[in-house]
Structure 1
Amino acid sequence: MNTAVLKNLKKFPLHLLFWIVVWFFFSSFFSVGSKNENFIFWFSSILSTIAIASSYVFVFHLIPNFLIAKKHWQFMLYAFYAGIFIVCAVLMTVVFGFVFFYNLEFQQMPALTKNSGVILVCVLLIIVLTSAFKILKDTYKSLDEKKTLENKFLKTQLQLKEQELKFLKMQIHPHFLFNTLNTLYGFALKKSEKAPEMILKLSSLLDYILYQVDKPLVLLQDEIGHIEDYVSLEKFRFQERLQITFNKDLIGEKLEIPPMLLLPFVENAFKHGTQIDGVLAVNINLKVDENELDVTIENTAKNNENSKKGIGLENIKKRLEMLHPKKHFLEISQEEKVFKVNLKIPIKNEA
């Protein structure tokens, strides 16, 4: 059986109960001053029929097809026609009682049943109540559907953000590993005794990338530890040609940040830095102020040397927009012989 039909059948008992209550209202109200039960029965039944027909015309046709559809002029026109029908039907009901039950003796009719204005108000009251209930129900349903659609849209957006974030991480990892493996390859060719130590540090970085980076947050201390491993690898590569300072101020043990958030900036300093007078200078400063992490990374670079930053910094910008929308500060500047990155992000204390 059709779903709509089954839905309407379930509502039938409630509708029937409502109209029985309406009939009793008409019967009780218009029986005042009358002992003619037969007349009151038929009079109430006819008024109930008018109310039922008019209400369903408004509820199932005029309101959904014109009022809710914002066809206001058409709704007003058809409502006017319906009003004429209701007035005529009420007047005919009064005439029906006057002719068939009181033998044209108008004065014998109960006062309320011969007052067309009172009868019309009672019928219109029922129609207004049913129409108002329909409008409120449709409004609530519309708001509920809108909320459901918004939730679905937000859920879809969140899934897309997560997929984009995973894609950005996938881009960062090969980019970082390519540079590190190049360094290790150079030492292997030279058969350097430092190659085993480099492999150990690289394995630690690989463990971080493969098993920790999918977590939403990691300890800031862990991120710093892997930055130090990376810096050690670069020290092996540059030897005396590298001058580096790494300052860590007020770094708590329980502070957390998204993984691989700082490492790409450090990597960029080494990859795109320029040796001035035979030395590459890199300065890294980390400072925690209340619930904010302030990171400054500087490296020597000739003008326009860092204009092409590769995919690393561009991806990290996108990650920051997704992770901390409008809550982070990132400034990248090129001064004379110095390339500078300043990042400020909110941090979470695990404790």
Structure 2
Amino acid sequence: MAIVAFGFVFFFNLEYQQMPMLTKSPSIILVSVLLIIVLASGFKILKHSYLSSEEKKALKNKFLLTQLQLKEQELRFLKMQIQPHFLFNTLNTIYGLAIQKKENAPEMILKLSNLLDYILYQVEKPKVFLEHEILHLEDYIALEKMRFHDTLQVNFTKIIENDKIQISPMLLIPFVENSFKHGVLMDDLLKIRINLQVTITKLFFTVENSFNKEKTNLQGGIGLKNIKKRLQMLYPQKHHLEITEKENIFKIQLEILL
């Protein structure tokens, strides 16, 4: 109607008197003006809606890119956490056992193979079953026991209400590895105590090792810093990490809301 009305205006060269009576009606003119306003507003709304949709797509792509970058950073932290000295020392031990033709050499090779498989391939998964992480811990401890022989005492206690829960891969091993790397022999013995307790909603993990502050420099390493950063990424506002040094004992206490 608006188009017809204004078409008459231009058809009659803007001569108001020559225009048909219908198009001179104030109500018709008012309706035409309102229709034009509605059409213009509708077009503006559609344009705004389209721009908002494009902004949402851009924000979504930015979010996905951020998630990808965080995942890549997490994997870098994991790779940095793997200690080459442990692999070299273990291989040297296996070499010595092989030369002596010890019966436990094949078992040690198998455990190291399982450990490397976990480190190289399983870490790419967002989550793993807790029971797999525990097996990984036990293989690591077994390898260290073979290396240290009679100079190592490890107590690993577990209270698990549900071992089918899932956690981020290699979440616990860095703390255990840190205890072997920085632990100090006291009276010719490295003592390490590990406790894992898992309820329906929480995970409690503690690691204690004999320690001498004068002989150990933990501040210069990247291990604990990487662990803290990774926990911040994986469990923001859902974890508590406490590190204490007391009476020749270095202790970490980790609590995670599952």
TM-score (norm 1): 0.63
Q: Deviations over 1:153-183 (max 9, x none)?
A: 012112212222232233234x2x5314314
Number of residues paired by the alignment? 253
Select 1:144's aligned residue among 41, 48, 53.
Answer: 53
Q: Which residue of 1 aligns with 2:81?
A: 172
Q: Which residue of 2 aligns with 1:293?
A: 203
Contact map agreement 2:162 2:200 (CA 8 A) in 1: no
Check if 1:272 corresponds to 2:182: yes
Select 2:224's aligned residue among 304, 313, 322.
Answer: 313
Check if 1:45 corresponds to 2:7: yes
Sort the Cα spacing of 1:196 and 1:23 in 2 relative to 1 into closer, same or farther, 3 A: closer
Shift of 1:233: 1.8
- What runs of 5+ residues in structure 1 fail to find an aligned partner? 1-20, 27-43, 51-91, 102-108
**SS where residue 213 of structure 1 aligns?**
helix
Shift of 1:311: 3.1
Q: Deviations over 1:80-129 (max 9, x none)?
A: xxxxxxxxxxxx95xx343x47xxxxxxx9598375xx566334313311
Check if 1:22 corresponds to 2:2: yes
**SS where residue 222 of structure 2 aligns?**
helix
Sort the Cα spacing of 1:110 and 1:282 in 2 relative to 1 into closer, same or farther, 3 A: same
Select 1:207's aligned residue among 99, 103, 117.
Answer: 117
> Which residue identity is paired with 1:182?
N
Select 2:127's aligned residue among 202, 217, 225.
Answer: 217
Over alpha carbons, which structure has the higher Rg?
1
Select 2:167's aligned residue among 257, 260, 268.
Answer: 257
Sort the Cα spacing of 1:201 and 1:319 in 2 relative to 1 into closer, same or farther, 3 A: same
- What runs of 5+ residues in structure 2 fail to find an aligned partner? none
> Which residue identity is paired with 1:341?
I
Contact map agreement 1:297 1:340 (CA 8 A) in 2: yes
What is the root-mean-square deviation in Å for CA atoms of aligned residues?
2.9
Q: Deviations over 1:125-163 (max 9, x none)?
A: 133112211221121012101101101101211221222
Sort the Cα spacing of 1:172 and 1:303 in 2 relative to 1 into closer, same or farther, 3 A: closer
Distance 1:22 1:324 in 2: 61
Percent identity, aligned pairs only? 37
Q: Deviations over 1:198-251 (max 9, x none)?
A: 223212212322333322222211211121121122222323322221110025
TM-score (norm 2): 0.83
Distance 2:194 2:128 in 1: 20
Shift of 1:332: 2.2
More strand by share: 2
